[in-house]
Structure 1
Amino acid sequence: MNPSHDTLGAADPEAASTLIVVGESLRLLADRYGLAWQATPPGKGLVLQQGGDGLEIAGDPAIYGHPIRADFVTGAVAHRRRFGGGRGQLIAKACGFGKGVVPQVVDATAGLGRDAFVLASLGAEVLMVERVAAIHALLASALAGASADPEIGEIAARLALSHADSASGLAGAVAAWPHEAQVVHLDPMFPHREKSALVKKEMRLFRALAGDDADAPRLLEAALDVATHRVVVKRPRKAPPIDGPAPHHVIEGKTSRYDLYVHRSLKS
């Protein structure tokens, strides 16, 4: 999503449309992204604020639970970096890591950057592309913090960040990156049915911001246009593929799978 086009989502239009950047320290950030700002929190809706652990997005705890933030230094990402299985992870296999092969990857639906950081920790140069202004701000904050961390600064140096809507602006984002888009990774938001199991609160907040990716077929088309070697699409294990060409290969896990669209082989 481009900075001038900040329609935040469809899952909770009221919450999304009332996202407010809060606090004197973030006034310039609000101006940079074209987001609404006020000095004190509003009575309802979502807020982008400076929390005790860094920049975060928060809403009604009863609905959304804890605030969300991007974090490349501690928590789940740190645990996954140390104990996640390295190149044995499903995402690493799907993206083509192999003997002597470390692909250059574009994560075209970056979200909170967790998959991108895993790929960078395995040695890949990774471009994170995120369309939602508020989430892009979280990523920029997390990347700045990680770059200054002595333990993971080297990993953070392999991460780049672009604010663009990949369905329409992926080619431009890749053109500005000094690496080849050998692999494009997609993890589109899968439409949630209200009758299915209750979505956990973090995902509710994320959906309020990002909505469902109704333009997933256009996203896949854009990825296929710019990827030089393959496109990798993460899907719920039993979900249908994205409308469009059939995947060439499928790698399945317990709860999710990766659909692979291969142009040519990755070689060392």
Structure 2
Amino acid sequence: MALVTPSSVLVSTSELALAKLWAEKLNLLLVDRAPLSGLYLLYDQQGLALAHADLPKINPVRVDFSAGAMAHRLQQGGGRGQALAKACGLKQGVSPRVLDATLGLATDAVVLTSLGCQLLGIERHPWVAALVEDALNRVKGEADLAWLEEGFQLQAGDSTQAMASLASAASFEPQVVYLDPMFPSSDKTAQVKKEMRFFRDLVGKDLDADELLAQALDLASHRVVVKRPRKAPELAGKKPSFSLVGKANRFDVYALRSLQGK
């Protein structure tokens, strides 16, 4: 699939003052109607979202930590017994500091934060980082999500270029580095939700993902965890210490030191 060129506009239907701040931050032109084609950012009463002018009937992509699929996963995801938590080394008395170097829409990062980890998320696409930042802003002051404000940091930047520098700028020393690069999809793979096509069109394929592993292994003090499609090759062709394999995905774990409780 060819990468769709995003429009250089931010469409606002309400909250003009906040929309103007986002337009200035992202160097976008603030307008009141959608472009004729392509991806664009939308700001409405629900916050910032990614939309597609050619697919107006499909809901925009929006990050929401207090409702919808994210809220359901936080409530029903399996806690520390889920594969993500096990792969990152969470257990009784152990809640490691985790750097998510390929943050995306922050789903896994927020799950780990909800389980007690201090987490730094790094996202290189400015629009995606903005979607996450806007979601964080919307939940400020919500007592039920106070743990998110306390435990989650967001850093915009490219982990493939300067993972260690970005961590240092945030004064963050990760015990675990988590990688979930965008994997090229094919017609034979499971159908991607229509809304997520927007996201894939925007960020493209992480063809430079192999560059992440060496940096992660240098930076993490205890382990590196890589999320992969179940039958995909290892990142950078490097065999992990062990893997946790599920129906659709697996977690390749590169163990450097044993994670111990405080």
Q: Which has the higher contact order (CA 8 A, sep 6+)?
A: 1
The letter of the residue matching 1:20 is: V
SS of structure 2 residue aligned to 1:28: helix
Q: Take 1:51 and 1:225, find their aligned partners in 2: how far apart are those partners?
A: 42
SS of structure 2 residue aligned to 1:153: helix
The letter of the residue matching 2:118 is: E
Q: Take 1:116 and 1:67, find their aligned partners in 2: how far apart are those partners?
A: 21
Decide which moves more: 80-89 or 51-60: 51-60
| Equivalent runs, 1:145-184 vs 2, <5 Å | 145-184=138-177
Contact 2:36 2:53 survives alignment (8 Å): no
> Relative to 1, partners in 2 of residues 1:76 and 1:149: Cα closer, same or farther, differing over 3 Å?
same
Shift in Å, 1:241: 1.0
Decide which moves more: 78-87 or 209-218: 78-87
> Among the aligned pairs, what percent are the same residue?
44
The letter of the residue matching 1:22 is: V
The letter of the residue matching 1:209 is: L
The letter of the residue matching 1:110 is: L
Partner residue, 1:85: 78
The letter of the residue matching 1:152 is: L
Q: Take 1:216 and 1:140, find their aligned partners in 2: how far apart are those partners?
A: 24
Contact 1:19 1:45 survives alignment (8 Å): no
SS of structure 2 residue aligned to 1:205: helix
Partner residue, 2:215: 222
> Relative to 1, partners in 2 of residues 1:194 and 1:34: Cα closer, same or farther, differing over 3 Å?
farther
> Relative to 1, partners in 2 of residues 1:67 and 1:61: Cα closer, same or farther, differing over 3 Å?
farther
Q: Take 2:50 and 2:74, find their aligned partners in 1: how far apart are those partners?
A: 24
Partner residue, 1:255: 248
> Relative to 1, partners in 2 of residues 1:231 and 1:224: Cα closer, same or farther, differing over 3 Å?
same
Shift in Å, 1:245: 2.3
Decide which moves more: 37-46 or 105-114: 37-46
Partner residue, 1:265: 258
| Equivalent runs, 1:33-72 vs 2, <5 Å | 33-60=26-53, 62=55, 65-72=58-65
Contact 2:38 2:54 survives alignment (8 Å): no
Structure 2 residue corresponding to 1:18, chosen from 7, 10, 13 = 7
Structure 1 residue corresponding to 2:231, chosen from 226, 230, 238 = 238
> Relative to 1, partners in 2 of residues 1:248 and 1:63: Cα closer, same or farther, differing over 3 Å?
farther
SS of structure 1 residue aligned to 2:136: helix
Shift in Å, 1:244: 3.8
SS of structure 1 residue aligned to 2:122: strand
**TM-score computed with the length of structure 1 as normaliser:** 0.89
Shift in Å, 1:98: 1.2
| Equivalent runs, 1:91-110 vs 2, <5 Å | 91-110=84-103
Count of residue pairs brought into register by the alignment: 257
Q: Take 1:91 and 1:61, find their aligned partners in 2: how far apart are those partners?
A: 35
Decide which moves more: 127-136 or 55-64: 55-64
| 1:144 lines up with 2:140 in the alignment | no
SS of structure 2 residue aligned to 1:258: strand
Shift in Å, 1:250: 0.4
Q: Take 2:123 and 2:259, find their aligned partners in 1: how far apart are those partners?
A: 26
SS of structure 2 residue aligned to 1:254: coil
Shift in Å, 1:63: 8.1
Decide which moves more: 173-182 or 119-128: 173-182
Partner residue, 1:8: none
Q: Take 1:186 and 1:121, find their aligned partners in 2: how far apart are those partners?
A: 18
**TM-score computed with the length of structure 2 as normaliser:** 0.91
Decide which moves more: 151-160 or 37-46: 37-46
RMSD (Å), alpha carbons: 1.9
